[in-house]
Amino acid sequence: MEKNLKIFAISNQKGGVGKTTSTVNLAAALANNQKKVLLIDLDPQANATSGSGVSKKDIHGSIYEVLIGNKNLKDIITRSPSEKFDVAGANQALAGAEVELVDLPKREYILKNQINTLNGYDFILIDCPPALNLLTVNALVAANSVIIPMQCEYFALEGLSDLVSTIKKVKQHLNPNIEIEGLLRTLFDRRNTLTKQVSDQLAAHFGSKVYTTIIPRNVRLAEAPSYGQSVISYDRSSKGAKAYLTLAEEILLGQHNEK
């Protein structure tokens, strides 16, 4: 495994917050900066797979087979036909992994051990399921840090405390190196007063952990997955594409400043 490899678990157990959209488009934006990127789809809905232009039916092996020990991670990686990054794809079989993982030894470390066999990547992005389950725990154990995409609405704050609590437990018992990389405000509508209030609360509580970049509500962002593309490939001039390219720059600048 590369020494400077950054592994991001992109997680929020609340659905509909732009989690998969953020995973695919951040992967594309980092790849656009000449970084070698692998996207791992750990969500049984497999939307990150199809959103990267990879057919769920045609993949030559899925992350499910890796988790249950039938395949190695390096053998299921495929190149996105529409993007400049690699994909470890998922399909509906992943929905059954939760039950099968329960009886496996060191079940929380399976993904981490597989990632340790890889070389050549600068970033690995893991699209987590919208649940705090064994799949998410595998991602949190494998990752250096967590990116939390969230909508600025009232219930989002409630869910956030559960996720932060889970991250703390994983840090305490399974992965002492895990940190919150950043909170990403998504589906942002500046005209909405509540949105601004919640955004201000996040900034007050998490400070510099809240990304400066804000992802707006954007038609092009919503359209791109149906074409199996990131918004950067689909419409680079759109507000959505510009936002994710700016986010990638913010993350890369943060990495540079750490050195």
The mean of the pLDDT values for the chain is: 92
Quick check: is 1 in a domain?
no
Confidence check: pLDDT of 2 > 70: no
- pLDDT, tens only, 6-19: 999 999 988 888 89
Q: Give me the mean pLDDT over the 164-179 stretch.
A: 96
SS3 179: strand
% of residues, the chain, pLDDT over 70: 97
Confidence check: pLDDT of 194 > 80: no
Quick check: is 45 in a domain?
yes
Quick check: is 86 in a domain?
yes
- The structure's pTM equals 0.95
Quick check: is 143 in a domain?
yes
Dihedral sign computed on CA atoms, order 130, 227, 192, 8: positive
Asked if residue 73 lies in contact with residue 118, where contact means CB atoms within 8 angstroms, the answer is yes
How many domains does the chain contain in total?
Answer: 1
> Hunting for tokens 């890369």 — which residue is that?
252
Quick check: is 185 in a domain?
yes
Q: Give me the mean pLDDT over the 127-144 stretch.
A: 95
| Structural domain of 89 | 6-258
Quick check: is 190 in a domain?
yes
Closest by alpha carbon to 122, among 32, 193, 206, 241?
32
The CATH number that applies at residue 160 is 3.40.50.300
Confidence check: pLDDT of 76 > 80: yes
Dihedral sign computed on CA atoms, order 50, 55, 57, 62: negative
Confidence check: pLDDT of 257 > 70: no
Closest by alpha carbon to 33, among 251, 217, 203?
251
Quick check: is 29 in a domain?
yes
Position 1 confidence tier, pLDDT thresholds 50, 70, 90: low
Report the amino acid identity of residue 157.
L
Quick check: is 188 in a domain?
yes
